């Protein structure tokens, strides 16, 4: 069996592996976009294995936040849809990752679009897990048109070369000096924003299903928004240092280091723990600002949900005067 138990899609191999393992209770973790699949998949797994299926309803955002034993009613295994494993995370019980890969996309047409829009001739390619299988064929199609596509190998949190993870773009940063821009394969702005904050070359995104290209993104505008937020927190005296209880989001040592840094710089800081952060739980705590040591995207994408500045770890260090404001540093979760 694959040591990380990964599956391209819900298939006979998954059902057979689950059946052979003999789990009597299996939890099904389904991200928001795939919720309609959950009932039929639960029935399919129950039928193939005879196990009881438990579906935790808490939203899941990545391979980093598996449900706790309490949430799964003590399940012996977890089936996670739509995410790849986080390689350097310890899993409480065996997890089966169904990555929902799609090879859909006309690579010849996609390559034509890239060339017609005049993208640089040396591109780094990054993809969401669902579209990783398109990287090789697209590189071949681009090569026929004189465009070199490179794929980087990232850090130990990442399962695949070329993989985009919202908290770790090392598959791009390791290539940054060798390319003139990056092309992200996937949908939405989540990864283009993360890439823009991580590398200093232009970013485009290509939706393989719609065959639509966006970019280059205004990297400086995104950084300026972050710098304004950092500056708004420079006078903060009392800081809440937020620590997640999710196994793949808990950076306890970093949190302690930030508390120590705060006191070194004449500030006060308090460790606050949470699982799923809700702004209402922070109201009335008499903190001037917060720094998040869990998923950095909570600070970047959800900043407007909190009534006090919410910074990432490097942003916090800039706010208290421990590092310069620029160059902007993305909080890479290693
Ligand atoms: S820490 Fe955030 S960006 Fe990283 S895998 Fe978890 S949810 Fe995704």
Number of H helices, E strands in the chain: 10, 14
Mean pLDDT of 285-291: 97
Rounded CA gap, 227 and 287, in Å? 20
Mean pLDDT of 140-155: 98
The closest residue, in CA terms, to atom 3 on ligand 1 is 166
* Chain mean pLDDT for the chain: 96
Cβ(167) to ligand 1 under 6 A?
Answer: yes
Outline which parts of the chain fall under CATH 3.40.50.11850: 107-217
pLDDT at position 144, please?
98
CA–centroid distance, 297 to ligand 1, in Å, is 7
Contact (Cβ atoms closer than 8 angstroms) between residue 334 and residue 168: yes
pLDDT at position 204, please?
98
Strands 181-185 and 268-274: unpaired
Cβ(333) to ligand 1 under 6 A?
Answer: yes
Mean pLDDT of 125-154: 97
pLDDT at position 50, please?
97
Cβ(277) to ligand 1 under 6 A?
Answer: no
Nearest to 240 by CA among 313, 292, 192, 279: 292
pLDDT beyond 80 at 312: yes
pLDDT at position 92, please?
81
Topology, domain 107-217: Rossmann fold (3.40.50)
The CATH homologous superfamily for domain 221-319 is: Diphthamide synthesis DPH1/DPH2 domain 3 (3.40.50.11860)
pLDDT at position 270, please?
98
Per mean pLDDT, which range of 83-92, 157-166, 169-178 is the poorest? 83-92
pLDDT at position 280, please?
93
Cβ(64) to ligand 1 under 6 A?
Answer: yes
User: Percent of the chain beyond pLDDT 70?
Assistant: 99
What's the predicted TM-score (pTM) here?
0.95
pLDDT at position 2, please?
58
pLDDT at position 3, please?
63
Outline which parts of the chain fall under CATH 3.40.50.11840: 6-98
pLDDT at position 1, please?
55
CA–centroid distance, 101 to ligand 1, in Å, is 19
pLDDT at position 105, please?
83
* 3-state class percentages of the chain: helix first, strand second, coil last, to nearest 5: 35, 20, 45
pLDDT beyond 80 at 103: no
Cβ(129) to ligand 1 under 6 A?
Answer: no
pLDDT at position 90, please?
87
Rounded CA gap, 115 and 118, in Å? 5
The CATH homologous superfamily for domain 6-98 is: Diphthamide synthesis DPH1/DPH2 domain 1 (3.40.50.11840)
């Amino acid at each position: 069996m694959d040591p990380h138990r990964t599956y391209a899609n819900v298939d006979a191999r998954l059902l057979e592996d689950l059946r052979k393992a003999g789990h009597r209770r299996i939890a099904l973790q389904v991200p928001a976009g795939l919720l309609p699949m959950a009932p039929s998949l639960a029935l399919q797994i129950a039928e193939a294995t005879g196990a009881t299926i438990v579906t935790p309803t808490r939203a899941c955002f990545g391979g980093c936040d598996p449900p706790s034993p309490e949430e799964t009613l003590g399940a012996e295994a977890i089936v996670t849809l739509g995410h790849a494993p986080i390689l350097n995370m310890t899993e409480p019980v065996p997890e089966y990752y169904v990555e929902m890969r799609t090879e859909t996309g006309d690579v010849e047409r996609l390559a034509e679009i890239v060339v017609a829009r005049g993208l640089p001739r040396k591109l780094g390619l990054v993809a969401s897990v669902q579209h990783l299988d398109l990287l090789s064929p697209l590189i071949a199609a681009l090569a026929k048109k004189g465009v070199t596509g490179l794929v980087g190998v990232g850090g130990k949190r990442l399962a695949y070369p070329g993989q985009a993870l919202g908290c770790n773009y090392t598959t791009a940063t390791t290539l940054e000096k060798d390319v003139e821009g990056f092309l992200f394969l996937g949908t939405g702005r989540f990864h283009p924003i993360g890439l823009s904050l991580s590398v200093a070359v232009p970013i485009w995104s290509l939706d393989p299903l719609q065959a639509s290209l966006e970019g280059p993104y205004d990297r400086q505008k995104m950084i300026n928004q972050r710098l304004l937020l950092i500056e708004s927190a420079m006078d903060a005296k009392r800081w809440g240092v937020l620590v997640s209880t999710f196994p793949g989001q808990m950076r306890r040592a970093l949190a302690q280091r930030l508390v120590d840094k705060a006191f070194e710089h004449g500030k006060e800081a308090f460790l606050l723990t949470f699982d799923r952060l809700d702004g209402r739980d922070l109201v009335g705590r008499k903190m001037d600002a917060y720094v998040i040591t869990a998923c950095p995207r909570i600070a970047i994408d959800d900043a407007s949900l909190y009534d006090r500045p919410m910074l990432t770890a490097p942003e916090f260090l800039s706010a208290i005067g421990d590092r310069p404001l620029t160059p902007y540093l993305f909080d890479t979760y290693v």
